[in-house]
Structure 1
Amino acid sequence: MEEKIFEMLREMKSDINEMKSDINGMKKDINGMKSDINEVKENQKMMRKTLDSVYEQVADLTIFKEETKIKLEEISNEIESTKVDINSLTMKMAHSDNQIIEIKRNLKKVK
């Protein structure tokens, strides 16, 4: 009977050693997961910084786009105004040319 008890104790010891080995393996796995989680957190922080930077750049580009749009509209208005001025000057030159021609005719008549 003592032998059976010793055998049972040996089996229990063997089972306990296996359990210890399993627990140690789980501890290693948990430590690995903690390390992975910390790495994910760091990557998330870097991604957040990058995303914030992208948001700032997009905001700057949006402002630049609006300012450029306004300036282009101002330039377009100035071009239209310049065209009107050129047309007006062209008409005045044509009128002046006609007057010069009339003056030449009148000078020929006077001679």
Structure 2
Amino acid sequence: MSKLKTLPFDPADYLQDDVAIAAYLTEALAAGDAGHFQEALGTVARARGMGGIAETSGLGRESLYKALRPNAHPRFDTVQRVLLALGVHLTVQAHARSAVPD
């Protein structure tokens, strides 16, 4: 009997176009966990190529890796620059029910 060989799953292998990237990041953001979104952002940056994202965003490659590592707390400006380099942006919309009383 032969052993079944498995490979680790890497979502970066499947993020091949802007629509997939936007959907992936939207779902990660909707989870409401900043760490999960940050990990997803790092995955997308790897899928697109860290060197190119670093250059386009104006961040150093090492700074980009540090900002997107687990348990890092990147500045919002850094996140915005990475999103811009990826060709996506955040959108804010109201919840179905408003948190503000009438």
TM over 0.5: no
Task: Looking at secondary structure, tell me which structure has more helix per residue.
Answer: 1
Q: TM-score, normalised by structure 1?
A: 0.16
Q: TM-score, normalised by structure 2?
A: 0.18
